[in-house]
Chain A
Amino acid sequence: MSPAFPDEPADSFPRPPRSFADGAGRTIDVERASDADAADLLAMYREFDPADRAQGIPPVQAEAIEQWLDTILAEDCVNVVARYDGAAVGHATLVPDGDIGYELAIFVLSEYQGAGIGTELVETLLGLGQAEGIEKVWLTVERWNDPAIALYKNVGFETSDAERFELEMGIRI
Chain B
Amino acid sequence: MQVLLGVGGTPLSYQALDETIARAQEAGDELTVAVFASGAADASRDEVEQRVRETLAETDVPSTVRHVEGDPGSDLVTIANRESFDRIVLGSGERSPLGKIQLGSVAEFVLLNAQTPVTLVR
Q: Which residues of A are in contact with B by a Cβ distance under 8 Å?
A: 1, 54-57, 59, 68, 71-72, 93, 95-98, 103, 105, 140, 164-166
Residues of chain B from 45 to 100 with CB closer than 8 A to chain A in the complex: 95-100
Given A164-B105, A164-B108, A165-B108, also A55-B97 (CB < 8 A): no
A38, chain B: closest CB distance, angstroms: 15
A19, chain B: closest CB distance, angstroms: 26
What are 13 of the A-B contact pairs (CB < 8 Å)? Answer: A54-B100, A57-B98, A57-B99, A68-B99, A71-B98, A93-B98, A103-B98, A103-B100, A105-B98, A140-B96, A140-B100, A164-B105, A165-B108
For the complex, what is the distance from the CA of A165 to the CA of B101, rounded to whole Å? 11
Q: Is the CB of B97 within 8 A of A56?
A: no
A72, chain B: closest CB distance, angstroms: 6
Q: Is the CB of B103 within 8 A of A56?
A: no
Q: Is the CB of B100 within 8 A of A56?
A: yes
B109, chain A: closest CB distance, angstroms: 10
Q: Is the CB of B99 within 8 A of A72?
A: yes
Is B102 part of the contact surface with A, judged by Cβ < 8 Å?
yes
Q: Is the CB of A56 within 8 A of B98?
A: no
For the complex, what is the distance from the CA of A169 to the CA of B96, rounded to whole Å? 14
- By beta carbon, the residue of chain B nearest A77 is B98
Q: Is the CB of B100 within 8 A of A105?
A: yes
Other CB < 8 Å A-B pairs besides A56-B101, A165-B108, 9 of them?
Answer: A55-B96, A55-B100, A56-B99, A57-B99, A57-B100, A72-B99, A103-B100, A105-B100, A166-B102
Q: Is the CB of B97 within 8 A of A98?
A: yes
Nearest 9 pairs between A and B by C-beta?
A56-B101, A55-B100, A95-B98, A97-B97, A95-B97, A103-B97, A57-B99, A103-B98, A55-B101
